Amino acid sequence: MAMAGWWFLIFVAVWWLPLPLTPVVAEEQQGEDCSDQKCGNINISDPFWLTDKDTGRSCSSDPYLDFDVACLNNSYPVLRSAIIFNKGFKILNISYQERSFYAVDLGKLNILQSSNSCLSQFYNTSIKLNHPFTIAPVNLNLILYNCTEKDGAAAAASRDRALAPTRVRCPNEWVVLARAGVPHDTTGNYSNYARKGCAAVVVPVLGSSSGASAGDYEQLFSDGFLLTWDPPPHLTIFPRSERRGKKIMLIGT
């Protein structure tokens, strides 16, 4: 009986030993510190993340899909969540403290540089944005008018001194004219700027461009505009140094 009691104590002692931490280590190895990542001259850090081309894994162990960034030609980052619409947004710089970044709508630049404008597709920049991102109200807007040649809509628009012609046109079908300096409307209501026979597309540009004319539209596109983002709502916000080796507590579904 005494020998059996000793074996029972040994079994209990072994059974209560702490479990190995291997699964936690493996989980941490799923990603690296994104603050070490760089694309061109721009640091990529939380909540943005890059996918490693060799491993196919995120540089973050807890990536947020809307903040997925591609490093094109190893020279500049592009927000991948908007790529389905005309090539997405090129990121010019990021302020992590202010949760904002400057971006260029590559789709609009692609239209300006297209050799066949008849195949171009026009979208409001705002519809390319996923929920976390917001066009900052300090931006102004450039409105592009796609005016049909029939019924004289294009001819009438061309006589408006507030509009400037662009190189974007489809011969005998339509032409595109631009209006600059339109204030940002948080509700997206620009009906006061509608023109008969013309489809309008709203493109945000820098608020500092208030002195620019519609004829500067190409430079306005290239200079980009300001976007802000909301913190990912489904995770408790910890500094990355506090996230190492621990799971993040979910606070919602």
Full-model pTM = 0.75
Span 54-104, pLDDT tens digits: 666 666 666 788 898 888 888 999 987 765 655 789 999 999 999 999 999
d(CA 133, CA 162): 31
Q: Phi, psi at residue 142, to the nearest 5°? A: -110, 130
Q: Is the peptide bond before 47 cis (omega within 30 degrees of 0)?
A: yes
d(CA 244, CA 145): 51
Domain boundaries, the chain: 119-229
Total Cβ atoms within 10 A of residue 8: 10
Span 157-178, pLDDT tens digits: 999 999 999 989 898 899 999 9
According to the 3-state scheme, what is the secondary structure of the chain? CHHHHHHHHHHHHHHCCCCCCHHHHHHHCCCCCHHHEEECCEEECCCCEEECCCCCCECCCCCCHHHEEEEECCCEEEEHHHCCCCCCEEEEEEECCCCEEEEEEHHHHHHHHCCCHHHCCCCCHHHHCCCCEEECCCCEEEEEEEEECHHHHHHHHHCCCCCEEEEEEECCCEEEEEEEEEECCCCCCCHHHCCCCEEEEEEEECHHHCCCCHHHHHHHHHHCEEEEECCCCCECCCCHHHHCCCCCCECCC
Q: What angle do CA 17, 23, 29 make, to 5 degrees?
A: 140
Span 197-217, pLDDT tens digits: 999 999 999 987 777 888 898
Percent of the chain with pLDDT over 90: 39
pLDDT at 225 over 90: yes
d(CA 53, CA 63): 16
Span 1-39, pLDDT tens digits: 555 444 333 333 333 344 343 333 333 334 455 556 889
